Structure 1
Amino acid sequence: MSGILDSVNQRTQLVGQNRLELLLFRLNGRQRFGINVFKVREVLQCPPLTSMPKLNSLVRGVAHIRGQTISVIDLSMATGGKRIENLDNAFIVIAEYNRSVQGFLVGAVERIINTNWDAIMPPPKGTGRASYLTAVTEVENELIEILDVEKILNEISPLGTDVSEDVAKTLTTEGSENKIIFIADDSSVARSQVKKALTTLGLEIEVAKNGLEALRRLKEIAAETGDVTDKVGVLVSDIEMPEMDGYTLTAEIKNDPELQNLHVVLHTSLSGVFNQAMVKKVGADDFIAKFHPDELATAVQKWLVNTDK
């Protein structure tokens, strides 16, 4: 696996083109899974794991890697499967989600593929593992499952969603009382977290499950009002979403005369990779790494009351 992520910096050119690269891996069986390369720091053969008292049952142990102690989560167990037994042949995918670094134990790692977000689809209903899927795609006539890692991590270590009392006292929506906050995120857990944090602002909240759904709804609102900002105060959008990612959604909004005045806050677990230059490339107004309720609510409030167009 050495060198598999060497060209991550070059991959920033995918931003705004509705494209992504997936690292494919397997757990216990033949089913293949994918994870966005931008979230991956490193892939390595499973090192010795140290058991620690009071660890969650899904955490197989901790690994000491380059001076850092990293919890290693068995992804098979976390999605309701059997534990990965043969650690000598297993791999760890070290990734950054929600401002922290985790190791995900997988059975085998294959290769990186380049694809379009419009080829990434919502998971089919009724599948046994559907509650742990955020999307699916097809590669070589085989279904690739993309796991809802935010849901898995939240089950192991739930995040607080309440805005602190000190911050809540400073929040105001003066002048925006009749507007709504629009949320676009494909993860049901993330949507719930964001919605809970932003209810403190006291405004109506509308949600969409991906960028394409959000764009269609925003265009409907604009057609009714003439300018989407007559009704929508701010859009909070994830970046990784099936059918249309958050960067492409932002670019579409900023290029549409009826939508371009809408303030867009990108809110993503891709906390270790994207920088302000990339945000400016597509015209987003702000970038907040998941998930800190105080920071999110403060940022949304700022753009709600910032009426400059």
Structure 2
Amino acid sequence: MAGVLDGVDQRTKLAGHNRFELLLFKLHGHQRFGINVFKVQEVIQCPPLTQIPNSHFVICGVAHLRGKTIPVLDLSMAIGMRSLSREDGCYVIVTEYNRSIQGFLVGAVDRIINIGWEQVRPPPTGTGKSSYLTAVTEVDGELIEVIDVEKVMKEVIGGREEASAETIDTHITSSNNHILVVDDSSVARNQVKRVCEQINMQCTLLKDGLEAWDHLTNLVTEGVKIQDRYLMIISDVEMPRMDGYTLATKIKSDVNMKDVYLILHTSLSGVFNTSMVQKVGANEFLAKFDPDSLLNAIQSHIKRQNGMSN
């Protein structure tokens, strides 16, 4: 896998055109899974691991890489499958999600493919709330499963679900208390919803950019002003069918929608995010998931609308 993660500039261009690169890997057998290359820092053969007493059963241990100590999770166990044998030449995919670095133990690493988000579909109906799939796509006639890593991280690593009480500003109010939340991860949608509810905000929850775009265009057809219906839109970037960058570009290019406040809220850690936000016209970028930062962003927008200083 040496050199396979080079070319960040090229991936930046892909992200701006509703395309991305997917790193394919296997856990057991022939089934292949995928992870967005932008979340991957490196791929290595499994190094010696140091055991952590009383850690979550999914954590194999910690690895010492380039002066850092990172937890390594058995991704197979994390999604309810049997554990991987480290004697079979396993690999570790080192990733950055939600401001933290961790490794995922996998059975084998296959290759990187370049595809469009329109080729990625939501999980099949009937997979249920217990499913760890966030999307699926097809490559060479084979179904590729994209794992809901945010769900895995929540279950294994945990973290605060609500903003701290001292973050809540009880002196501000808004005549518009409705927020549109767009994210393909049910865990992420509900995390945002819980923070919004702390300040009595209602949420409409949608699963991907295309669903959101159809919803917004239908409202416009009905004569609804988007900025009157929604205080803001909080959208993920990685989503099946239409990604957040494309959704943002379409919203900000539409005369009937361009004035709505739009936050891109993502676990992507690429250095391109600031420039991409400017390119697509989004108002703000927030890295997942910090409930205090999210609440502050919502409250700051309300203050600006009310003519108050932050």
- TM-score for both structures, normalised by structure 1: 0.94
Mapping for residues 11-90 of structure 1, pairs under 5 Å: 11-90=11-90
SS in structure 2 opposite 1:137? strand
**What's the offset of the Cα at 1:55?**
1.2
| Whole-angstrom CA distance in 1 between matches of 2:296 and 2:99 | 18
Measured against aligned partners, the alpha-carbon deviations of 1:109-147 in whole angstroms (never above 9, x if no partner) come to: 011000000110001133499710000000000000000
After superposing the two structures, state which structure 1 stretch, 271-280 or 180-189, moved more: 271-280
**What's the offset of the Cα at 1:302?**
2.3
SS in structure 1 opposite 2:222? helix
SS in structure 2 opposite 1:257? coil
- For residue 192 of structure 1, the aligned residue among 190, 193, 199 is 190
Unaligned stretches of 5+ in structure 2? none
SS in structure 2 opposite 1:271? coil
Mapping for residues 146-157 of structure 1, pairs under 5 Å: 146-157=146-157
Mapping for residues 1-309 of structure 1, pairs under 5 Å: 1-127=1-127, 131-169=131-169, 172-174=172-174, 177-307=175-305
| Whole-angstrom CA distance in 2 between matches of 1:262 and 1:299 | 15
Unaligned stretches of 5+ in structure 1? none
| Whole-angstrom CA distance in 2 between matches of 1:171 and 1:292 | 22
**What's the offset of the Cα at 1:276?**
1.3
The 3 A distance-change label for structure 1 pair 158 and 272 is same
| Whole-angstrom CA distance in 1 between matches of 2:116 and 2:214 | 19
SS in structure 1 opposite 2:162? coil
Could you tell me whether the CA contact under 8 Å between 2:208 and 2:239 is conserved in 1?
yes
SS in structure 2 opposite 1:131? coil
| Whole-angstrom CA distance in 1 between matches of 2:297 and 2:127 | 38
SS in structure 1 opposite 2:212? helix
Following superposition, which runs of at least 4 residues in structure 1 exceed 4 angstroms of deviation?
Answer: 127-130
Q: CA RMSD in A?
A: 1.7
Counting matched residue pairs gives 306
Amino acid at match of 1:284: A
The 3 A distance-change label for structure 1 pair 5 and 224 is same
Could you tell me whether the CA contact under 8 Å between 2:169 and 2:299 is conserved in 1?
no
SS in structure 2 opposite 1:201? coil
Amino acid at match of 1:6: D
**What's the offset of the Cα at 1:296?**
0.4
**What's the offset of the Cα at 1:305?**
4.4
